[in-house]
Amino acid sequence: MALNLDNALDGIGGMLIGAFGKQAAVGMLMGLLDDVTPLDVYRYVRGNASLFPDVAEEDWPKIAKVMRKAHLEDIDIDFIVAAFQKSRPDLLSVVINHPSGMKWLNCQLTELKSHVSPQ
């Protein structure tokens, strides 16, 4: 019997996500922000624009598959802020220093959850 690598990776990924839950999901989020600059974030906040404009629609199901295993409903704004502080303090600085920055960040978390929640 041949090993189905995709199923094996799904199983391993599921175990890792299950074990590390929120940290794994937020790590994936931070990965999506690798190429985002503070100026980008300033423009997003100022224009109340999505932080995820470059995520292709066909990529959301892949992201959702991983994030659903992480119990995304347990991730709140305080957890996101702590993750930004650790991984991307440059972006967090823009958010907290803009008058509507925290409201915008909360909207981004809501958007992310809506993309990955079961339909």
Q: What's the angle, vertex CA 85, arms to CA 31 and CA 104, rounded to 5?
A: 75
pLDDT score at 118: 67
pLDDT score at 20: 58
- Does residue 21 contact residue 70 with C-beta atoms inside 8 Å? yes
State the 10-residue block means of pLDDT for the chain, 119 residues long: 37 50 72 86 93 80 74 82 92 96 92 77
Which positions ≥6 away from 51 have C-beta within 8 Å? 33, 36, 41, 44, 108, 111
d(CA 46, CA 26): 24
> Mapping DSSP to helix (H, G, I), strand (E, B) and coil, where does residue 78 land?
helix
pLDDT score at 89: 95
d(CA 109, CA 92): 14
Which positions ≥6 away from 92 have C-beta within 8 Å? 81, 84, 85
